[in-house]
Amino acid sequence: MVDFKSYAFPDSRGKFGMYGGKYVPEILIPALDELEENYSALCRDESFLAELNNLQQEYNGRPTPLTFAKRLTEHFNGAKIFLKREDLCHTGAHKINNTLGQILLAKKMGKKRIIAETGAGQHGVATATVCAKYGLECIIYMGAVDVERQKLNVFKMKMLGAEVRSVNSGTATLKDATNEAIRDWVTNVGDTYYILGSVVGPHPYPMIVRDFQKIIGEETKEQIIKAEGKLPDKIIACVGGGSNSIGIFYPFLKNSEVQLIGVEAAGLGIETNKHCATLTKGRAGIFQGMKTYLLQDKEGQVNEVHSISAGLDYPGVGPEHSFLHDIKRVKYLSATDDEALSALFLLSKLEGIIPALETAHALAALEKIIIGSHPDQIIVVNCSGRGDKDMFKISEAGGLE
Amino acid sequence: MINLKKYISELNTKSELALSIFLTAGYPDKKDFIKIAELVYENGADLMEIGFPFSDPLADGTVIQRSSLEALRSGFILNDLFRYGEQLKLKYNKPLIAMGYANSIVNYGNADFFRDALNAGFDALIVPDIPYDEYEDFYADNIPNLPVINLVTPTSTDKRIKEIDTVTDSFIYYVSVKGTTGFRRNVNQQTLDEMKRVRSMISKNKMLTGFGISSIEDISTVSPYCDGIIIGSAVIKKIMENQDEYESLSYYIRELKCATTKRHQQNID
C-alpha cells in the first residue's frame, strides 16, 4: 500500500515501483547522470526557482485561469465544470511549462545545441520558442505523418529559427521522432541537451518533466479553493505520454477524496488495432529507455498505433502513470476519434473555447463521467491546449462542412 | 559451451585479432540467413553475433534499422533465433552470440530466454539497452548462467569500467564512436587515446571493438589497442547490395580476416 502523504517516487534508481529506470545504451548513462546531478542541485536553488517563476509569469502568462464552464455545466446538468486553461499558455499548450524549466537547465549546464521530439508540434514549438529566446541552436525531430497533419506548427517552428527534421523511419509518428532524437543524442552527447517533452524516457526525465508541469495542479488547487472553498471531486486529463495529466494530478495524489481520471486515445475503438489506449490494452515492456505499459504484439514488437490526435499517437506511456494505474490511484478511460471530435465542437459552441484534439479526449470522457453527478460536486478538466493547430485535420475529418 | 575468453586468448597467442561478425537474424529472409551465416564462418569469422530484430532499435543506425524491419516483415519470430543457433552449432564449433533489445527478452520471459538461448548453443548474450545500472535486476533470473557481454563507451568513467569488468566474464564490447551502429567517423588519435584508457581499466576480460569499424585501415589502426574487432553494418550493407550470390560478401570477410591476422602481427613486430 502506497502512503501518498509521503509519496517519494521515483526512488533513487529512477523507479516508480517496477516502472521507469534507465534502459538506454551505455553511452548515454554519463549524460543522464550529469543531468540528474545538475537538476538535483538546481531544483533546490532559490535563484534558479525565482528565475523560472519569473519566466512563468512574465513570459508564459501564468497563472492560467480556472474558468467556470457555465453553459457546459448547464448542458450536462450535473456537477460544476471548471476548465484549467493551459490553452492560454504562451504557444498554446502546457508544453512550455516544461521547456522553460529545461532551457534554464541546459544553459546552466553549458549546452549549446538543443534537440527535441514532437508529435502534435506543440512541444516542438515550445522548444523552438525558448531556443529563440535564449539564442540556442534548435533541431526538432517530427514524424513525416505528423509534419503533414500539423503543418501550422511546422511553419511556426521554422519561423522561430528551428530546423525541423522529418522522420520517415518506422511509423513516421511520435515514437519514431523520439527514437531519432535519442539517436541524435547518442551521437552528439557532449554538446547537446535533449529537451524531452513528456513524462517518458529514461530517468531523470519523467521526474524532471513532472516537476516542471506540477505547477498546473498547484495553481488549480489554490484556485478551486478560492472559488469554491473545497477541492474538486474529480479531475480529468488526457494521456498520451502523460505530461499535462501528471502535471495536474501530482499535487492531488495525497488528497484521496479527489478522483483522478486519465483519458487515453481509443482511436477507431479499443476493440480494433487502431488505438493508443496503452494502459487499457497494453502490458509491461521496455521501450525508449523506460519500463512501462506498452502496446506490443505477442513477439514484443511495438504496435503501429493510431489516434486522430498526433499528441496522443504513441504506443507507450509515462512510467509513473503505469505505477498509478497498477496501484489504482488514477483511473484510466479512453475516448475514440469520433467522441473527441464531437466533444471538441461542443466546447467550441458552448464556451467559445476551441480545444486541441488531445484535450478533446478528456472532454469526451467528461460526458460519461458526469452522468449521475450533483450540482454540489465539482469536476475540473485540464484544458491542455488550444485547437488552432488542428483546423486542417478537423476539416479533413469532415467536421467543418 | 565455448569459453570465449579462452577462445580469444588462443587467437591472440597466434598473433590474430578475433573477428566477430554481426548478422541480423532472419535477414534478408529465413532461408538465405543460414546460407549467409555459413558463408561468414567458412570465410574466416571467428565469432558470430546474431541480432534478433526489434521494431525500435535505439542504438542502431539506418542500415541495421532497415535489416531489422525487413527481417520482421519476412516473418521472423524469436523461436527462429534458437533454431538458427542449433543449426549452426551442429556444423561449426565456433562462438555464437545472441544480441538484441531488452523488450524481446522481457516479452519472452527472462528466465525462459536465458535457458533457451543456452540450450540452442549460444555462448553469450548482448543487450544494448541494459546498461550496468539495470544489470542486476535484468539478469536476476539468469540461473543457467548464460555469459553476458557488457558494453563500454568512450564516455564511461574509470570507476564504471572497473565495475563492468568485475561482473563480466568473457569480453567487453567497446563502442569506439559516439554514435549509433554504422556511424562513420575516421579513427583518430582521440579514438586511440580513449581506447588506451578503457583498456587499462579492464583486467579480467578481453576487449573487442565495434561500431564504426569497417575498413582494413580501421582495423590496422585500432589493432594494437584491443583483442578483436566487431563488424556489423558494413556486412549487412554487403548483403543488401548482393548481386552475385554473396560472392563479394565472402570476399569481404576473407579480407577482414586477413587484416586481423597480418596487421596484428605487424603491430606486434
What's the whole-number mean pLDDT along residues B82-89?
A: 98
**E strand or H helix at A166:** strand A163-167
Query: What does the mean pLDDT of chain A come to?
Result: 96
B61 to A183: CB separation less than 8 angstroms, yes or no: yes
> Given an 8 Å threshold on Cβ–Cβ distance, is B156 in contact with A285?
no
Percent residues over pLDDT 90 in chain A:
93
The answer to whether residue B239 is domain-embedded is: yes
**Cβ–Cβ pairs < 8 A, chains A and B:** 110
Give catalytic status of residue B60 as yes or no.
Answer: yes
Q: Which residues of B touch A182 (CB under 8 A)?
A: 58
pLDDT band of residue B269 (cuts 50, 70, 90) is: very low
> The whole model's pTM is what?
0.96
Q: Which three cell numbers stand for residue A325?
A: 494505474
Question: What is the pLDDT, as a whole number, of residue B265?
Answer: 52
pLDDT at residue A188 in the model: 93
Query: Is the pLDDT assigned to residue A41 strictly greater than 70?
Result: yes
Name the residue among A127, A131, A130 with its Cα closest to residue A117. A127
> Is B105 inside any structural domain?
yes
Is B166 among the domain residues?
A: yes
Residue B266 inside a domain? The answer is no
Angle at A220 between CA A62 and CA A45, to 5 degrees: 60
Rounded to an integer, the average pLDDT of A68-86 is: 98
Considering only CB atoms, B155 lies closest to which of A175, A189, A284, namely A189
pLDDT mean over A387-391:
92
CATH code, B66: 3.20.20.70
Classify strands A19-23 and A289-294 as parallel, antiparallel or unpaired.
antiparallel
Chain B interface test: which of A15, A23, A165 (most B C-beta within 10 Å): A23
Q: What contacts B56, CB < 8 A, 6 or more positions away?
A: A170, A175, A179, A287, A288, A302, B101
Q: Kindly list the strands in the beta sheet with B47-52, ordered across the sheet, starting from the edge strand earlier in the chain.
A: B124-126, B96-100, B47-52, B18-24, B228-231, B206-210, B171-175, B151-152
- Per-residue pLDDT tens for A289-304? 999 999 999 999 999 9
- DSSP letter, residue A5: G
Nearest to B63 by CA among B241, B249, B269, B243: B241
Q: Do B156 and A31 touch (CB under 8 A)?
A: no
What pLDDT score was predicted for residue B186? 74
Q: Is B269 within the bounds of a domain?
A: no
Which one, of A89, A92, A96, lies nearest residue A133 by Cα? A96
For B266, the enclosing helix (H) or strand (E) is: helix B247-268
Asked if A26 lies within 8 A of B175 by C-beta distance, the reply is yes
Distance of alpha carbon A316 from alpha carbon A293, whole angstroms:
6
Task: Indicate which of B134, B149, B183 best probes the interface with A, i.e. most A CBs within 10 Å of its own CB.
Answer: B134
A147 pLDDT higher than 50: yes
Confidence at A399, pLDDT banded by 50, 70, 90? low
A296 at the B interface (CB within 8 A)? yes
Residue range A92-114: average pLDDT?
Answer: 97
Residue of chain A whose alpha carbon sits nearest to that of B157: A30
Q: Do B24 and B71 touch, CB atoms closer than 8 A?
A: yes
Mean pLDDT across the stretch A30-35? 95
Whether A44 and A354 have beta carbons less than 8 Å apart is answered as no
Report the run of H or E that residue A208 belongs to, with start and end.
Answer: helix A205-213
**Residue of A111, A198, A384, A389 marked catalytic:** A384
Helix (H) or strand (E) holding B218: helix B216-222
- State how far residue A266 is from chain B, nearest Cα, in angstroms: 22
Would you state the cell numbers that stand for residue B126, as one nine-digit string? 548482448
Which of B49, B116, B194, B218 is catalytic? The answer is: B49
Q: Using the beta-carbon criterion (under 8 Å), do B156 and A30 form an inter-chain contact?
A: yes
Q: Does residue B5 surpass a pLDDT of 60?
A: yes
What pLDDT band is residue B84 in, cutting at 50, 70 and 90?
very high
Judge whether A384 counts as a catalytic residue: yes
With b for 16 or more beta-carbon neighbours within 10 A and e for fewer, the B113-130 pattern comes to bbbbbbebbbbbbbbbbb
Judge whether B40 and A154 are in contact, CB under 8 Å.
no
Q: Is the pLDDT of residue B246 over 90?
A: yes
Residue B265 lies in a domain: no
Q: How far is B155 from chain A (nearest CA, A)?
A: 6
CB contact under 8 A, B103 and A22: no
CA distances to A121, B2, B166 from B170, rounded to whole Å, are 46, 10, 11
Answer yes or no: is the ipTM higher than 0.90: yes
| Cβ pair B58:A25 closer than 8 A | yes
The answer to whether residue A196 scores a pLDDT higher than 50 is yes
Contact between B103 and A285 using a beta-carbon 8 Å cutoff: yes
- Split into its structural domains, chain B has a count of 1
Interface check A29 vs B, CB under 8 A:
yes
User: Quick one: what percent of chain A has pLDDT higher than 70?
Assistant: 99
> Active-site residue among A15, A80, A84, A95?
A95
- Tell whether B76 is covered by a domain: yes
Task: Please report, for residues A118, A278, A319, the alpha-carbon distance to residue A179 in angstroms, rounded to integers and kept in the order given.
Answer: 11, 18, 17
Out of B107, B129, B132, whose CB is closest to A299? B107
B56, B77, B78 member nearest A170 (Cβ)? B56
Cβ distance of A31 and B108 shorter than 8 Å: no
Question: Which is nearest to B90 in space by CA: B142, B41, B148?
Answer: B41
Whether residue B101 lies within 8 A of chain A, CB to CB, comes out as yes
Helix (H, G, I), strand (E, B) or coil at B179: coil
Q: What Cα–Cα distance (Å) separates residue B240 from each residue in A206, B51, B249, B256?
A: 39, 16, 10, 18
Q: Which single residue is written with the C-alpha cell 550470390?
A: B245
Q: Which of residues 175-194 of A touch B (CB under 8 A)?
A: 175, 179, 182-183, 186-190
B180: in domain: yes
Q: Tell me whether residues B153 and A296 touch, CB distance under 8 A.
A: no
Distance from CA of B63 to the nearest CA of A (A): 11
Task: Give the integer Cα–Cα distance in Å for A401 and B76.
Answer: 46
**Dihedral, CA of residue B201, residue B205, residue B206 and residue B210, to nearest 10:** -70
> Which residue range is the domain that position B154 belongs to?
4-260
pLDDT in tens, B37-61: 999 999 999 999 999 999 999 999 9
